[in-house]
Structure 1
Amino acid sequence: MSGATASWLADGRRLHLNHGPIDLIVEAFGEERERFLAYRQAVARFETILEELVAELPALRSPAGARARRFSGSTAQRMEEAVHAHVPAFVTPMAAVAGSVADEVLAALVKDRAITRAYVNNGGDIAIHLADGESLDIAIAGTGHGLADRISLSTADPVRGIATSGWRGRSHSLGIADAVTVLASSAAAADVAATLIANDIDLPGHPAVKRVPANEIDPDSDLRGRLVTQAVGCLSDPDVARALENGLSTAWAMRERGLIEAAALFLRGETRECGTISLGKLAYTPVPAVPSHSHAQKGLTHA
């Protein structure tokens, strides 16, 4: 598969797809033959995704502008469309790469197949398929911050994508969020929104926050010379509240524009929520670990 690999996990139900920085867990539900054909379609589509992205990488690392661009690859086009909705904010298509890959593989998985439910999990960015009358429980876990519970989605819900972002993982964040989880109409939409909300959970110039230019860490970073968070020291309760309110304002603005359905924001044991889909069951306890959500694919060079 030209460097891409496909293998079954130990349970024999979930498919593991890997190619360089892209690492997917795929599961489909339905009759055995339909699932077999669906998995085969997903593997076939996955085979070339990384090469397609690399071929257009210079443009994908460039900020979206007032005029939407056309890309040759369908995954790259998903990325551009997802971020263009947030212009004039500074954002490159790489902010939606993980979610867009999940959406792309899911679309291939279910095309012309009688699949009742399915998901593609790309390092915490999850694309979801639900046939009429179906529902799926999604475990929101592994962000490294005690965010661990379940959200039940049904066909009637507008959510088909979930993503989590924050400064603690392999991602480069402009903000100080421990984690931001977003529910949206697609994984690509959730991915870019989580990134931008996490960027805005911030305290510009605060002495407890250590920052360095992104291109000092990775010369090819799409964030270029923008300062990214490397460490966060002691913050007062008012500091935490102010940072969270900054991000919450961004989340509500996105929701009012129809860009997201809901979001949960986390910083130093404090939580803020936005949206009508209940995230109230999500328990939050800070622990010193790394989020599963990865910006590594957003760089595609340092992963």
Structure 2
Amino acid sequence: MEEDTIRVLGPGQVFFDYGPVSMVVTAVRDGGEGDTQLCRSAFPVIDDILRELGPAVPVLRRYPAQVDPDELSGTARVMAEAVLAAGDPWLTPMAAVAGSVSDAVADYLQSRGAVKVTANNGGDIALRLAPGQSLGLGVLYDLEKGGVDRVVRLTPEKGVGGVATSGLGGRSLTTGIASGVTVFSARCARADALATLLADRSIIDSPAVHTCRAGELDPDSDIADLTVVTGVDPLTEEEKAKALSQVMAEAELQYERGGLIACIATVQGRTAVFDPGKILD
């Protein structure tokens, strides 16, 4: 079972494939040595979280108006607080599940002496950097095409502890048309929730946009009653600009709320960047 669940990819780099979690973890000790055994030791963190979340799932699938974080604990509460902080009525706590698990694993590795940590849960990445450390992070503009379009150099001074990407072609259903929206935040739970929200904000009224109810694609979806995008035909430059302006407006709002540090959004090859602190330079 362990061989199927835990695979060593290299020194200080381990892949966990367990239930809904597909996570690549890296941990570096002071002096630059990768610690494979420390990475392996993080598996119980994932196992405990998945067991803990099971009973809370019915609540975590509700819309914010029906969620009281005081009735939750642990990772479930972290998820609820991440989406409630965004202030959107249609974002369920499930929008922060992958990022919350990444945060928990990254916190564990950091607490045990790692000076450079990444926990990449299917693209929702928690990172922890000690003073003097840095990380080059590749950003995908288009989730369906794949491939790194930009490398961002992150340091502790930039305050980024979580990066998440959402949009068409991602793991989850989206109500927007963005090819990809990448959010940089202090925590991955917040980045995960905000990437989902900003990608949703890219929706426009156009005959090029094809939609259906989420429940038609996945009857068990936590947003089964919402309209999601199934495909987008070629858009005009004006339509792309409108969608991106809506994303940038939401990014500014979330920056003012204190959750978002920066974001990069793309719609069919056209990209916009929100980076008031110049952390992406």
**TM-score, length of structure 2 as denominator length:** 0.90
Distance in 2 between residues matched to 1:50 and 1:66, nearest whole Å: 22
Q: State the match for 2:181 in structure 1.
A: 180
Distance in 2 between residues matched to 1:115 and 1:147, nearest whole Å: 26
| Matched residue type, 1:115 | A
| Matched residue type, 1:273 | V
Kindly report which structure 2 residues correspond to 1:61-76, keeping only aligned pairs within 5 A, or say none.
61-65=61-65, 68-70=68-70, 72=72, 74-76=74-76
- What is the Cα deviation at residue 68 of structure 1? 3.9
- What is the Cα deviation at residue 147 of structure 1? 4.2
Q: Equivalent pairs: percent with the same residue?
A: 35
- What is the Cα deviation at residue 237 of structure 1? 1.1
Distance in 1 between residues matched to 2:201 and 2:150, nearest whole Å: 25
Superposition misfits of 4+ residues, deviation over 6 angstroms: 1-4
Distance in 2 between residues matched to 1:136 and 1:159, nearest whole Å: 11
Question: Are 1:115 and 2:117 an aligned pair?
Answer: no
Distance in 2 between residues matched to 1:176 and 1:217, nearest whole Å: 17
Say if 2:17 and 2:23, in contact at 8 Å, map to a contact too.
Answer: yes
Question: Deviations along 1:106-128, whole A, 9 cap, x unmatched?
Answer: 112222x2211111001111000
Q: State the match for 1:258 in structure 2.
A: 258
Question: Deviations along 1:58-92, whole A, 9 cap, x unmatched?
Answer: 11100123874235552212111110102243210
Paired positions, count: 277
Distance in 2 between residues matched to 1:156 and 1:84, nearest whole Å: 27
**TM-score, length of structure 1 as denominator length:** 0.84
Kindly report which structure 2 residues correspond to 1:1-303, keeping only aligned pairs within 5 A, or say none.
5-9=5-9, 11-30=10-29, 35=35, 38-65=38-65, 68-70=68-70, 72=72, 74-111=74-111, 113-141=112-140, 143=143, 144-204=145-205, 206-275=206-275, 276-279=277-280
| Matched residue type, 1:126 | I
| Matched residue type, 1:122 | N
Distance in 2 between residues matched to 1:120 and 1:162, nearest whole Å: 10
Distance in 2 between residues matched to 1:131 and 1:72, nearest whole Å: 31
Distance in 2 between residues matched to 1:159 and 1:277, nearest whole Å: 12
More helix by share: 2
Provide the aligned C-alpha RMSD in A: 2.4
- Determine helix, strand or coil for the equivalent of 1:264: strand
Unaligned runs of 5+ in 2: none
